[in-house]
Amino acid sequence: MAPARTRILRIVLWGSVALLSASLGGAFLLREYASRQPHNVQVSGEALVRSKFSLVDHRGRAVTEVDFSGRWQLVFFGFTHCPDICPTTLAYMAGVLDSLGERADSVAPLFITVDPVRDTVDVMAEYVSAFHPRLVGLTGSPEQVAAAAQEFKVYFEQREDTAAPNGYLMAHSGYIYLMRPGGRFEAVFREGDQPPEALAEEIQMRIAKDDRQ
């Protein structure tokens, strides 16, 4: 082989190696990017989770999911006797709403109590207003709350504890649900998995993606 052709061959071969490395690296970066945004959360039976409820808001009005249709919903189940994770999560949700800015108009933030006997309308009103002016508190009869929790597949239980106020402690799942306008499930998040600004960005992205479709 003539030296010139060898050189060309060498350039072509090294060129292919470089191209292959670049595309592999690119694919890897793309996968990393895709897996980070939107945030991957493993959930089973997502299609079964839906927003469907008949409850009373913190202003004393009877509401159902229809009152929030046309908006996305950010839903958290908790209770006001919960000293740590509930205020922490609601403060996190408030941070998300602040970061959403004007976009928060298209998201209804709902805090549904799993302790309706103690969390009356008045208690809910005082409680939610401490976190964010947009936050909606929902309570109801124990049956109404149990039915709502059932639709969201939220688990909660009362445990006897003589040391706790009123003799019981509540245990519950600490997920924040993002529901689509119309009430279908979109995603779940946990407080602390990402900063509130990042979650706000993710929600915006999901809404924007939906608007394009």
Q: How far is CA 162 from the centre of its chain?
A: 34
The answer to whether residue 104 forms part of the interface with another protein (CB under 8 A) is no
Task: Tell me how far, at minimum, the Cβ of 39 lies from another protein, in Å.
Answer: 16
| Residue 169 exposure: Cα atoms within 13 Å on the Cβ side | 7
Residue 196 to residue 31: CA distance in whole angstroms:
23
The answer to whether residue 155 forms part of the interface with another protein (CB under 8 A) is yes
Distances (CA, A) of 109 to 7, 57, 126, 192, 210: 66, 12, 16, 18, 19
Number of residues that bind another protein (CB under 8 A): 34
Chosen residue from 174, 194, 198, 204 binding another protein by CB under 8 A: 174
Task: Tell me how far, at minimum, the Cβ of 154 lies from another protein, in Å.
Answer: 9
- Cα angle 111-112-116, degrees, rounded to a multiple of 5: 135
Chosen residue from 4, 162, 165, 213 binding another protein by CB under 8 A: 165
Q: Which is nearer to another protein, 28 or 155 (CB)?
A: 155
Chosen residue from 54, 120, 173, 194 binding another protein by CB under 8 A: 173
Q: At what angle do helices 196-212 and 85-100 cross, to 10 degrees?
A: 50
x/- letters, 63..102, toward another protein (CB under 8 A):
-----------------xx-xxx-xxxxxx-xx-------
Residue 178 to residue 197: CA distance in whole angstroms:
15
Chosen residue from 159, 205, 208, 209 binding another protein by CB under 8 A: 159
Q: Which is nearer to another protein, 38 or 87 (CB)?
A: 87
Tokens for 184? 């279908």
Closest listed residue to residue 146, CA positions, set 117, 186, 174, 184: 117
Chosen residue from 13, 34, 164, 208 binding another protein by CB under 8 A: 164
Task: Tell me how far, at minimum, the Cβ of 23 lies from another protein, in Å.
Answer: 39
Chosen residue from 51, 96, 138, 172 binding another protein by CB under 8 A: 172
Closest listed residue to residue 140, CA positions, set 51, 52, 55, 53: 55
Footprint of another protein (CB under 8 A): 80-81, 83-85, 87-92, 94-95, 123, 126-127, 130-131, 155-157, 159, 163-165, 169, 171-175, 190-192
